Amino acid sequence: MTATPDTSPPTPSAPAGEPAVSLRGRDITAAETTGLKENALGPWGVFAQGLAAAAPSVAIAGVPFALFTAAGKGAAWAAIVGLVIVLLIAITIGFQARRTVSSGSLGTYTGNGLGPGFAFVAGVSLLLGYIGFATTGALGGVLYVDSFLTTIGLGSESTWFKLLLVVIVVGIAVYLPLRGATLAAKYELAFEVLALVSIAVIIVASYVAYGFQIDGEQWSLSNLGNSSTFVAAVTAVGSYAGFESVASLGAEARDAHRTIARALLRVVLIIGVLYLLATYPQVLHFDGIDGDDAVLPQLADTTGVGWINSVVSAAVAVAFIVFVTAVTTSAARSLFTLAHEGALPKALTKVHPRHRTPWVGIVVVGAAALVFAVVATFSSAGRLVFDVYGAYVANWGFLISYLLVVIATPIWLYKIKALTPVRATVSGLAALGLGYVIVNNVYPQPEWPFNILPFVFLGILAVAVGWYLYLRRARPEVARRIGSIQTLSVAEQERLADLGIVDVLTDETATDRTVTGSDRA
């Protein structure tokens, strides 16, 4: 096998003594050869990354209000629809994670089944989702830091004060991932648990304040016939978004194939239960909520537990910051992987010499969060409403990447002779669920501005697709390489070798050649 001539930044060679792998004619670059710190995270660290990126405390603080804004009393059903769909997605992603891992996450997995073009679309869509969540999460952190300072008498309505909070929140959120995923994971898990415990006081008070009765309107099946419920389900699915971020740690996790697959399901199941317990009681009290202030403190005052506000505001403010830390971690690795494959500027492949983190990508995401939060601070729409709309656009990035990966996975499993009826059924149901949510989000046409927000996302994605089409025409060797950085498990390599599907090149060949990821299939 000979390498395709290439003028792009070289992909790392297979280490001497370690064979390169060619899967169905497509050369694979091992994820751990890209320069990120190997074996940095064990099972708890990987779980902490997924939990912090999905951020149940952050979601409980803002998502129920977002669901209520879009669907009214149909918010609880929207949350249930979201849980079922995301559980199917998590199982489907796990089908691939047990066999192969990558810092490219769902983009790489999509490429396995649908090829480099769709790998790029899925990867960029997921990247837009992460960057969107980093920006809106930074704004949420500012809201809750501001709320906390107000409760202890240090708040201010001055613009300079709000801007100072933006700088502080974004600065901390960038510093932690720069120091490394291990350090960030420790803070993420500790503060997430603290925030959830404090929020539980308000949730219990919400149940008690309403009395021992059931709000039949929320549970009416008629809500499932309203398009607004499925518009809200976009946000509901998005409220779990980030759980798949564990897949971006494929180059850094210990026993990555097993650890990542298990973490996917654990994160979804735990936060799913929390969301269902929290959405219903919050909706009972939303009629008088001010859309420009943090929701949970208002809810605490309404239900008679205002004394907990300072604790909740502080805990949720910190949870927002570690949430931004987690999604920044994943976004930076997506940028890093695409850059290593040659599709983005070479500068994004730079790794911090001491901490071995993709520091340029982290700074880029932080800059985007800073700009968004500053713009929102000066917006007349209200910072919370601005946050809702921004998060809604970002959610489309996750929806598109999820849809592509659940379509691609059974195709890849079929190609490698691992598709079973159960796996095909789970993937098919996940695709149908996502498709139904997407269709119901655009038809019948929802009210303004939700009717135009999907097109805002598509407009941004169209620019990225235009770049890929340019690469395909001007630099086809780069376009073919996208999605090639991944590591097959030893057991999977052996199984595929027995089937004649995978070729393991000799040590001599691996030493003498650069693995380009060129696709001759």
Total domains, the chain: 1
pLDDT at site 381: 63
Average pLDDT over every residue of 370-379: 84
What are 97's strand-pairing partners? none
DSSP state of 503: E
Q: Is residue 298 part of a domain?
A: yes
Residue type at 506 in one-letter notation: T
Residue type at 97 in one-letter notation: A
Element (H, E) at 100: strand 100-101
Q: Which residues contact 327 (CB under 8 A, 6 or more apart)?
A: 53, 130, 133, 134, 137, 242, 245
Range of the domain at 318: 47-499
**Does position 9 have pLDDT exceeding 50, yes or no?**
no
Q: Which residues contact 310 (CB under 8 A, 6 or more apart)?
A: 148, 151, 152
Q: Is residue 521 part of a domain?
A: no
**Does position 285 have pLDDT exceeding 50, yes or no?**
yes
pLDDT band at residue 35, thresholds of 50, 70 and 90? confident
Q: Is residue 7 part of a domain?
A: no
Average pLDDT over every residue of 367-393: 79
Whole-model pTM: value is 0.83
Average pLDDT over every residue of 125-141: 89
Residue 22 structure tokens:
């060619």
**Does position 511 have pLDDT exceeding 60, yes or no?**
no
**Does position 509 have pLDDT exceeding 60, yes or no?**
no
**Does position 443 have pLDDT exceeding 80, yes or no?**
no
Q: Is residue 518 part of a domain?
A: no
Least confident of 21-25, 111-115, 255-259, 443-447: 21-25
Closest by CA position to 141, among listed 307, 271, 326: 326
Reduce the secondary structure of 375-409 to three states and give it as a string: HHHCCCCCHHHHHHHHHHHHHHHHHHHHHHHHHHH
**Does position 290 have pLDDT exceeding 80, yes or no?**
no
Average pLDDT over every residue of 83-95: 94
309-340 and 56-71 helices, crossing angle to 10°: 90
pLDDT at site 513: 34
**Does position 296 have pLDDT exceeding 50, yes or no?**
yes
pLDDT at site 504: 59
Alpha-helix residue ranges (DSSP H) falling in 158-302: 159-179, 181-210, 216-219, 227-240, 256-283, 295-302
Closest by CA position to 59, among listed 235, 204, 198: 235
Residue 361 structure tokens:
């990508």
CA atoms within 13 A on the CB side of 470: 9
379 dihedral zone (left: phi>0; alpha: psi -120 to 50; beta): beta
- Rounded to whole angstroms, how far apart are CA atoms 170 and 63? 21
Q: Is residue 41 part of a domain?
A: no
- In CATH, what number is assigned to the domain containing residue 439? 1.20.1740.10
486 dihedral zone (left: phi>0; alpha: psi -120 to 50; beta): beta
pLDDT at site 419: 97
225-259 residue pLDDT tens: 777 787 788 778 877 888 999 998 888 888 999 99
Helix, strand, or coil here: 357?
coil
DSSP state of 34: S
pLDDT band at residue 468, thresholds of 50, 70 and 90? very high
Burial class of residue 460 (count of CB atoms within 10 Å of its CB; 0-12, 13-18, 19+): middle
Higher pLDDT pick, 7 / 112: 112
Looking up tokens 């059903």, which residue turns up?
77
Q: Is residue 12 part of a domain?
A: no
- Rounded to whole angstroms, how far apart are CA atoms 83 and 241? 11
Average pLDDT over every residue of 79-93: 91
- Rounded to whole angstroms, how far apart are CA atoms 289 and 222? 25
Element (H, E) at 488: strand 487-488
Average pLDDT over every residue of 402-414: 96
Rounded-to-5 percentages of helix, strand, coil across the chain: 75, 5, 25
pLDDT at site 257: 92
pLDDT at site 453: 87
469-502 residue pLDDT tens: 999 999 999 999 898 889 999 899 889 888 888 7
Alpha-helix residue ranges (DSSP H) falling in 211-255: 216-219, 227-240
Q: How far is CA 240 from each of CA 84, 133, 372, 483, rounded to the nearest angstrom?
A: 11, 12, 22, 24
Rg (CA), the chain: 23
Q: What are the backbone angles phi and psi of residue 153, rounded to the nearest 5°?
A: 85, 15
pLDDT at site 506: 38
- Rounded to whole angstroms, how far apart are CA atoms 342 and 476? 11
pLDDT at site 17: 44
pLDDT band at residue 49, thresholds of 50, 70 and 90? confident
Residue 136 structure tokens:
């809106």
Kindly report the average pLDDT of the chain as a whole number: 83
Q: Is residue 516 part of a domain?
A: no
Q: Is residue 410 part of a domain?
A: yes
Is there a contact between 358 and 350 (Cβ–Cβ < 8 Å)?
A: yes
What are 29's strand-pairing partners? 485
